[in-house]
């Protein structure tokens, strides 16, 4: 009975030694082959690949990471995965990452500093090669942990004087100016802005760009017409209600993000206002859903794919080629107006 032969050890999954044995080479050669080292002779390489396929061998990334010091893992921290903007961002980030042989670790901070800290800690334990912090302005508390350990980071809209930190600048200006110009061209003079939470850099930037755009367009800014919301649907509803309670009301509303705008659409409908006849609404982000609102939302598009690509590229450069003097530390992602059905000339007043 071939007992000894048939049950060596309880059938572990094949490792580099198994492959080496089958291909009749050393494990070094197997390693070189897998990593595409040019020194291996074709003859041996072929035998190695053959063995690999035969065994269905998959290299153990943990072992690789341990010895090489590189995990090929990038973390991405978003504010809230439940906000449609982020899954689209994650999707694109995953795509580029996988295409380059990286894996990603996703976490939501839910705008909670304590959770954010935990996320970072977890990523540190998993030895990520870099972290994309896509929380748009709530990141300060954790930056230290990351920088301290010299982990590459990429931030949105927040510059940091640190050799390991890159920034993606979002050029809201172009999109917001286009939006205001569009509205002004339609004849609107009374334009409100539903801002995001003032704790977010991005929200502040957007608001400032709106103010600037209004000034450029020669339009008056009414203090009452800039109201701080929270980038949620419900926030948009509330913001709209606040605006409606005013003595003089705007004929158009620019929102700091699409969710807010969708909230406005909804609230306006409930109040019997017709968009765009009675009120023009413009969002920001252009989430997939914006196309399907009623009416379809005119909005300022911020490409998630562009953002994701920039974030990945920033991380990749830092991780793979940190000493390159031409390392790009600032990336720019632009915005643009996409016209749909939620804007029209104001009713004569």
Partner DNA sequence: GTGAAAGCGCTAACAA
Partner DNA sequence: TTGTTAGCGCTTTCAC
34 binds DNA (CB under 7 A): yes
How far apart are the C-alpha atoms of 172 and 299, rounded to whole Å? 12
Instruction: Write down the residue that tokens 């048939």 correspond to.
Output: 6
How far apart are the C-alpha atoms of 44 and 18, rounded to whole Å? 15
How far apart are the C-alpha atoms of 124 and 56, rounded to whole Å? 31
Cβ 24 to DNA, closest distance in Å?
A: 7
Binding mask 62-91 for DNA (x = CB under 7 A): -xx-xxx-----------------------
Cβ 97 to its own copies, closest distance in Å?
A: 10
- Residues 109 to 168 in contact with its own copies, rule: CB under 8 A: 118, 121-122, 124-127, 148-149
In DSSP terms, 166 is beta-bridged to 154
- Residues 1 to 30 in contact with DNA, rule: CB under 7 A: 12, 15-17, 25-30
Residue 53 binds which entry of DNA, its own copies, none, with Cβ cut-offs from 5 to 8 Å by kind? Answer: none
21, 27, 55, 105: which one contacts its own copies (CB under 8 A)? 105
- Residues 231 to 270 in contact with its own copies, rule: CB under 8 A: 233-234, 262-263, 266, 269-270
| Maximum alpha-carbon separation in the chain | 99
40 binds DNA (CB under 7 A): yes
Residue 3 binds which entry of its own copies, DNA, none, with Cβ cut-offs from 5 to 8 Å by kind? Answer: none
266 binds DNA (CB under 7 A): no
Closer to DNA by Cβ: residue 37 or 91: 37
60 binds DNA (CB under 7 A): yes
Residue 56 binds which entry of DNA, its own copies, none, with Cβ cut-offs from 5 to 8 Å by kind? Answer: its own copies
Instruction: Write down the residue that tokens 């409930």 correspond to.
Output: 270
How far apart are the C-alpha atoms of 173 and 334, rounded to whole Å? 8
Residue 308 binds which entry of its own copies, DNA, none, with Cβ cut-offs from 5 to 8 Å by kind? Answer: none
Residue 194's Cβ-count burial label (10 Å; 0-12, 13-18, 19+) is: buried
Stretch of 56-64, 154-162, 185-193, 288-296 lying at the interface with DNA (CB under 7 A): 56-64
How far apart are the C-alpha atoms of 74 and 102, rounded to whole Å? 7
- Residues 100 to 129 in contact with DNA, rule: CB under 7 A: none
Closer to its own copies by Cβ: residue 132 or 179: 132
Residue 325 binds which entry of its own copies, DNA, none, with Cβ cut-offs from 5 to 8 Å by kind? Answer: none
User: Are the C-beta atoms of residues 168 and 310 closer than 8 Å to each other?
Assistant: yes
How far apart are the C-alpha atoms of 81 and 89, rounded to whole Å? 10
Residue 26's contacts (CB-CB under 8 Å, 6 or more residues apart) are 20
Closer to DNA by Cβ: residue 28 or 246: 28
Binding mask 20-59 for its own copies (x = CB under 8 A): ------------------------------------x-xx
User: Are the C-beta atoms of residues 323 and 309 closer than 8 Å to each other?
Assistant: no
Stretch of 37-45, 206-214, 216-224, 297-305 lying at the interface with DNA (CB under 7 A): 37-45
Chain residues in the site for its own copies (CB under 8 A): 13, 56, 58-63, 65-66, 71, 81-82, 84, 86-88, 90-91, 94, 98, 103-108, 118, 121-122, 124-127, 148-149, 233-234, 262-263, 266, 269-270, 288-289, 292, 294
Chain residues in the site for DNA (CB under 7 A): 12, 15-17, 25-32, 34-35, 39-41, 43-45, 57, 59-60, 63-64, 66-68
């Amino acid at each position: 009975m071939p007992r000894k032969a048939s049950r060596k050890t309880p059938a572990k999954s094949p490792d580099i030694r198994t492959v080496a044995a089958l291909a009749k080479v050393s494990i070094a050669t197997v390693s070189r082959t897998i990593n595409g080292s040019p020194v291996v002779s074709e003859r041996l390489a072929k035998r190695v690949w053959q063995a690999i396929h035969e065994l269905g061998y998959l290299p153990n990334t943990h072992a690789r990471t341990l010895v090489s010091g590189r995990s090929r893992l990038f973390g991405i921290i978003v504010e809230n995965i439940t906000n449609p903007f982020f899954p689209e961002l994650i999707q694109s980030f995953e795509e580029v990452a996988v295409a380059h042989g990286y894996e990603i670790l996703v976490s939501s901070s839910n705008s909670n500093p304590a959770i954010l800290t935990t996320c970072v800690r977890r990523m540190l334990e998993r030895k990520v090669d870099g972290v994309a912090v896509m929380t748009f302005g709530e990141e300060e508390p954790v930056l230290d942990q990351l920088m301290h350990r010299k982990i590459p980071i990429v931030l949105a809209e927040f510059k940091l004087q640190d050799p390991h930190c890159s920034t993606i600048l979002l050029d809201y200006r172009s999109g917001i100016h286009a939006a205001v110009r569009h509205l002004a061209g339609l004849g609107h003079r009374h334009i409100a802005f539903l801002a995001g939470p003032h704790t977010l850099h991005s929200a502040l930037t957007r608001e400032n760009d709106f103010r600037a755009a209004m000034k450029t367009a020669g339009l008056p800014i009414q203090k009452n017409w800039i109201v701080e919301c929270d980038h949620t649907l419900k926030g948009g509803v509330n913001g709209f209600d606040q605006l409606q309670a005013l003595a003089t009301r705007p004929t158009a509303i620019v929102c700091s993000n699409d969710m807010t705008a969708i909230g406005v659409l909804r609230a306006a409908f409930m109040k019997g206002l017709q968009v765009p006849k009675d009120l023009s609404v413009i969002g920001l982000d252009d989430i997939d859903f914006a196309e399907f609102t009623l009416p379809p939302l005119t909005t300022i598009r911020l490409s998630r794919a562009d953002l994701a690509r920039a974030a990945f590229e920033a991380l990749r450069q830092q991780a793979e080629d940190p000493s390159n003097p031409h390392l790009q530390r600032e990336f720019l992602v632009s915005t643009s107006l996409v016209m749909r059905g939620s804007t029209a000339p104001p009713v004569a007043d």
